[in-house]
Amino acid sequence: MAKDGFETLKLVGTRPNRPDGLDKVTGRARYGADFSLPGMLWGAVVRSPHAHARIVKIDATKAEALDGVKAVITRADFPTGLTGEDWNLQENTMAGEKALYDGHAVAAVAATSKLLAEQAARLIEVTYEVLPHVIDVDAAMAEGAPVIRAGAADATVPEGLHPNVVRYMEFGRGDVDAGFAEADLVMERTYKTEATHQGYIEPHACVSKMGADGKGEMWVCTQGHWYIRKMSAAVLGIEASQLRVTPTEIGGGFGGKTTIFMEPLSLALSKKAGGRPVKIVMSRSEVLRATGPTASASMDVKIGMTKDGKITAARAEFRMQGGAFPGAPVDMALYCCFAGYKLANVHHVGYDVLANRPKCAAYRAPGSPNGAFAVESLVDEMCRKLGLDPVEVRLKNGVTTGDRASYGPKFGSIGLTEVLEAVKAHPQLQAPLGENQGRGFAVGYWFNHNGETSVSMAIGEDGTAQVSVGTPDIGGSRASIALMVAETLGIPYEDVGVNVVETGALGVNEPTHGSRATFASGKAAVEATQAAIKEMCRRAAAEWDIDDEAVEWVNGAAQPAGPNAGKFPPMSIKEIAGKMGQTGGPISGHHESVPDGVGASFGAHVVDLEVDPETGRVTILRYLVVQDAGRAIHPSYVEGQYQGGAAQGIGWALNEEYVYDDKGRLSNTVFLDYRVPVASDLPMIDTVIVEVPNPGHPFGVRGVGETGITPPLPAIANAIHDAVGVRMTHLPINPPKLLAALKAR
Amino acid sequence: MRYHSPTDFASASALAAGASGVTRFLSGGTDVLVQMRAGMVLPDDLIDLKKIPGVSDITQTAGGGWRIGVAVPGIVLGAHEGLKADWPGVVEGMNLVGSTQVQGRATLTGNLCNGSPAADSVPGLVAAGAVVEITGPTGVRTVAVEAIPAGPGKTTLAKGELISAIVLPARGDNAGDAYLRFIPRTEMDIAVVGCAVSLRLSGDTITEARVALGAVAPTVLLVSAAADAIIGTTLDDAALDALAAAASAAANPITDKRGTKEFRVEIAGVLAKRAAKIAFARAKGETA
Amino acid sequence: MARITVHLWSGLRRLTDGDLESVEVDASTVGEALVAVAAQHPGLEPVLAAGVSVVIDGEVSTSRRQVIQPGSEVYLMQRLKGG
Ligand SMILES: Cc1cc2nc3c(=O)[nH]c(=O)nc-3n(C[C@H](O)[C@H](O)[C@H](O)COP(=O)(O)OP(=O)(O)OC[C@H]3O[C@@H](n4cnc5c(N)ncnc54)[C@H](O)[C@@H]3O)c2cc1C
């Protein structure tokens, strides 16, 4: 589907093997837990078994008496006086006066073996005064709910709300009441989604060392090592530049590895243990209890529609809890929920609420799946009521380039219409459905992000290129960046090596989040490559003794630009590189910026499923993802992102949820009970890559990593309604819930 | 922790009888080692049974039944044609346990003695009328499988007692069994409800039946009312409804992270019907 | 320096002097605009200090030095990032 000047591309759009593939399939790739150092100690963390409790006393005498225990730390070992998000991070890393959720770290220990560290952790005696707790978002903001932290609300919260409401927002335009009055059908419903976990396969792991001089080093699996550096430095009160952080290979993150958890603990333990390296590897249950799951949401949506499907007004009021700290992505949820619709009258209200749960972290398009579930479910229901085709209604109301987004500003180039047209043309819409089978459709959106980006590249003596990026590769970005650099240089893909380098090697990089790596590091890598090309042209010009401007770069070689420039045979990159020592030294390029030109991405999913009416169990029969990639640099990885987003969304819709017992303890802390879909649960997920190039990127790239998780939640709920006629408004739609709804029918 | 590897059951029994702290037998280890790693159970004495001769064998008994060693893993059961032909329901119950990796180690005996009410192989064994041979300080005794579980994580085995074999009776003619479990996913999950049915036909009429339910009570349930509902019938709709009603009535589950009480009660009936149909078809010689 | 309209999200109205949906300032860059907004409406200061996204003609601004052309559309939004 090459479009708009991309016809001449040789490499971009092909599917070579990924550079990290061989190591990964042969078990040689070094992940977080694979790293070890001489003299290394093991760390273990003591965690609160209570959802909310005052820490009365921590007695480590017995643990410290064990032979081989080298350090014990508590909050007393951390600096005081932090404020804002730095304080939140510190408090979440290690509880202070109170444990705020089941799994909250209260102490940590380092010892000469893993078993010993775990034994020592069990011997640390913590005396708690258990406090009333609250888990559910609606309960947390209701009158009389236990106050998690008085004074945590920021300036945006109006008087009179429960102290657990820590952020409030309201925005919109037009006159929604007048808009509802114009509608033929106005509907309003409340929806709920439960907290889920990113479910990355690799648990968090790090090895750190920090000497008495405050100099530290860390090897860690993370999406963003500069964030690890900045946050760890803030929490420990050290200077960022004294800490060198090297990312390992990473076994999944999906947003969950963009922040710190036990990393500062390993540094603090190392310092206390006289600088011996300390390794901490989380268990699965630590990951589920004490890292950063998603927010849960309670959402009211009201929409007005005319008989012919025009939306006249829309209103959303979302309440989200993101754990015991501010930061539930209620803002993002509101921005995204109506983003696909051209609306004159729209109003949004949001509450960010504290509850006794772990501090939420990002998870693929944070907030957007929740909001999409509410809005796309209601739009679907209204289409059915009015006898309208759901795809046509999206087309009729759908935003196009230049339209004003529901959240305020105008859209740049977007491809929603193209996505919807591709859905209409897909054969799945014609596939016959049997008894208890249904088809669901929904649209989703994510802004995508740029962020601080710094990339270097250097030409080797043999004319190959090495690129250094600061965005860990979680979805094939090394392959995609290599393709773009090779295309720009005019050399084979195999001649470009891309490495994710440590914090000492580049300027600050934001993590691989916001679907930004291929967009931002890719764009910076192309700019850096252009700088190197310019230098190579200069070297050729000097050799030929012509003006720099009279040399152009074509097919991996410098050549005179036109007949007037002089008559010289092209000088290949290999020739130029081979002589670099005699022509001015190393040849490299560098670029750093917060790249502009981010391209937003819309997607639409179609799911066919079957409900077992006797058990409420749902089987996915067919699944289609259609999404605008701008330009697919390496289509296999774009497809992989689409399929992965759909798979995670299917899990969120059907079975995944944080289940708490009446004491506020997480009861499903292993993958046997935290039910992510397994491979045999899913059919092959079909993908269509729509390419509406992003003018803000040299190859037209839009981020593709996040949009794919936004439509599955409502698409599945809509398909279930189509199959058995019940409207499920509370996720997950697990068998007990669906069977109960079927019986109540 | 002390690790022992006795070479006969009497010594294993003596070791266990003499131990003072937390003691575990090690068969496949897919429960024990996981519990140890999670810090849930930290044994003082770990008695590995895999060095005892014969524990990995499946042998036919004089009466035409099957004697299964305590270390026979699921994958070996699944590959045993004779056993599969006689007791497909028992084998499919065991083969549902875990994944390919887990199947390489996990055993029937471990599944039974771990004491989980949701253990997948146990309803099949109970419906089949299997017995266990127990070696203890006072010698060897034989009891029905359903007499072993005593509640979540507990068995009726006395201190120093261990299972030295599981014995399935001869299958006989015109008979079939089946096990079904309900999980929301397709694999790698713990039964929300499990149900095994074993029956014998004379023509199209059921002459003998045993129905066992898992995960709906503190222990596996042998539900004679459910069996009675289908004995003497041709498994017509009325019999199936009566079977479902009896199974649901016998279920006494709790609400937990894996499912609600109401759901489990309902599903016990649904699975009983479905498992009975498969057992019936198998008894008729159909390979379902 | 040009006269620029900075659109607020309506939750911020309460923090302005006079319940305003938007604020008029004289500024030629993003940084100047933010300083001017905070100077006119000190109630907004903590929110701006905590970090907001400034969206100019549909694109999130990447620098406080970014020039705002007269007639450009300027929106303040909660800070955006992602997973
Ligand atoms: C990933 C995973 C998935 C699983 N999925 C399932 C599943 O789907 N369904 C299911 O039912 N189970 C499942 N299990 C649990 C486990 O695999 C089974 O219970 C298995 O059958 C245990 O057998 P084992 O030989 O490994 O037992 P072991 O771990 O060796 O022993 C289990 C218990 O039995 C005792 N024991 C062992 N042998 C004897 C003996 N001869 N006499 C007396 N006591 C004895 C031990 O002391 C211990 O308490 C799963 C486990 C894992 C790790």
Question: Given pLDDT bands bounded at 50, 70 and 90, which one contains residue A65?
Answer: very high
Tens digits of residue pLDDT in A221-240: 999 999 999 999 999 999 99
Q: Is the pLDDT of residue C82 over 70?
A: no
Same fold for the domain at A21-28+450-593 and the one at A367-448+598-744?
yes
Question: Given pLDDT bands bounded at 50, 70 and 90, which one contains residue A460?
Answer: very high
Q: Is the pLDDT of residue C83 over 80?
A: no
State whether the beta carbon of B28 lies less than 6 angstroms from ligand 1: yes
Taking the domain A367-448+598-744, which CATH number applies? 3.30.365.10
Question: Given pLDDT bands bounded at 50, 70 and 90, which one contains residue C11?
Answer: confident
Tens digits of residue pLDDT in A385-401: 999 999 999 999 999 99
Using CA coordinates, name the residue in chain A closest to B274: A614
Contacts (Cβ under 8 Å, ≥6 apart) of A628: A414, A415, A416, A418, A419, A601, A602, A603, A690, A691, A692, A702
Interface contact C35, partner A, CB < 8 A: no
State whether the beta carbon of B125 lies less than 6 angstroms from ligand 1: no
Q: Whose CA is nearest to atom 4 of ligand 1?
A: B98
Tens digits of residue pLDDT in A14-43: 999 999 999 999 999 999 999 999 999 999
Average pLDDT over all residues of chain A: 96
Distance (Å, rounded) from C-alpha A209 to C-alpha A215? 8
ipTM: 0.94
Q: Which of A6-10, A85-89, A427-431 has the lowest mean pLDDT?
A: A6-10
User: Quick check: A603 and A629 in contact, CB under 8 A?
Assistant: no
Instruction: Please list the residues that pair with A313 across neighbouring strands.
Output: A304
Tens digits of residue pLDDT in A476-531: 999 999 999 999 999 999 999 999 999 999 999 999 999 999 999 999 999 999 99
Q: Do A156 and C15 touch (CB under 8 A)?
A: yes
Integer-rounded Cα radius of gyration of chain B = 19
Interface contact B62, partner A, CB < 8 A: no
The kind and range of the H/E element at A243 are strand A243-247
Q: Is the pLDDT of residue A426 over 80?
A: yes
User: Quick check: A343 and A406 in contact, CB under 8 A?
Assistant: yes
Over residues B222-248, the mean pLDDT reads 98
Over residues A448-467, the mean pLDDT reads 97
Q: Is the pLDDT of residue A98 over 50?
A: yes
Using CA coordinates, name the residue in chain A closest to C46: A155
Provide, as residue numbers in chain A, all residues whose Cβ is less than 8 Å from the Cβ of C60. Answer: 447, 450, 598
Interface contact A378, partner C, CB < 8 A: no
Interface contact B260, partner A, CB < 8 A: yes
B79 Cα: distance to centroid of ligand 1 (angstroms): 19
**CA nearest to A184, candidates A308, A302, A300, A301:** A308
State whether the beta carbon of B95 lies less than 6 angstroms from ligand 1: no
What helix, strand, coil percent values describe chain C, rounded to 5? 30, 30, 35
Helices (H), A214-262: 225-236
Minimum-distance CB partner of A655 among B37, B184, B188: B184
Q: Which CATH class is domain A21-28+450-593?
A: alpha beta
Over residues B261-270, the mean pLDDT reads 98
Q: Whose CA is nearest to atom 3 of ligand 1?
A: B98
User: Quick check: A343 and A684 in contact, CB under 8 A?
Assistant: no
Tens digits of residue pLDDT in C32-78: 999 999 999 998 998 888 888 898 887 788 788 889 988 888 989 88
Q: Give residue A155's pLDDT.
A: 87
Interface probe with C: pick from A85, A86, A88, A156, most Cβ of C within 10 Å: A156
Q: Do B185 and A681 touch (CB under 8 A)?
A: yes
Distance (Å, rounded) from C-alpha A737 to C-alpha A350? 27
Minimum-distance CB partner of B266 among A283, A672, A739: A739
State whether the beta carbon of B16 lies less than 6 angstroms from ligand 1: no
Distance (Å, rounded) from C-alpha A75 to C-alpha A280? 18
Q: Give residue A2's pLDDT.
A: 40
Residues 540-569 of A with CB under 8 A from C: none
Domain boundaries, chain A: 21-28+450-593, 367-448+598-744
Contacts (Cβ under 8 Å, ≥6 apart) of C27: C1, C2, C4, C33, C35, C36, C68
DSSP state of B63: T
Q: Whose CA is nearest to atom 7 of ligand 1?
A: B97
Q: Is the pLDDT of residue B158 over 70?
A: yes
pLDDT > 90 in chain A, percent: 97
DSSP state of A400: -
Q: Is the pLDDT of residue C20 over 90?
A: no
3-state DSSP assignment of residue A169: strand
Residue in this structure with the two tokens 């225990």, named with its chain if needed: A69
Average pLDDT over all residues of chain B: 97
**What count of Cα atoms within 13 Å lies in the side-chain half-sphere of residue B205?**
5
Minimum-distance CB partner of B263 among A283, A678, A735: A735
- For chain C, domains (ranges, CATH) are 2-78 (3.10.20.30)
Distance (Å, rounded) from C-alpha A370 to C-alpha C77? 19
Mutational pocket test of ligand 1: of B26, B102, B108, B166, the residue with most ligand atoms within 8 Å of the beta carbon:
B102
Distance (Å, rounded) from C-alpha A631 to C-alpha A612? 40
**What count of Cα atoms within 13 Å lies in the side-chain half-sphere of residue A454?**
13
Q: Give residue A1's pLDDT.
A: 40
State the DSSP string of A601-613. Answer: EEEEEEEEEEE-T
- For chain B, domains (ranges, CATH) are 2-116+131-168 (3.30.465.10), 175-283 (3.30.390.50)
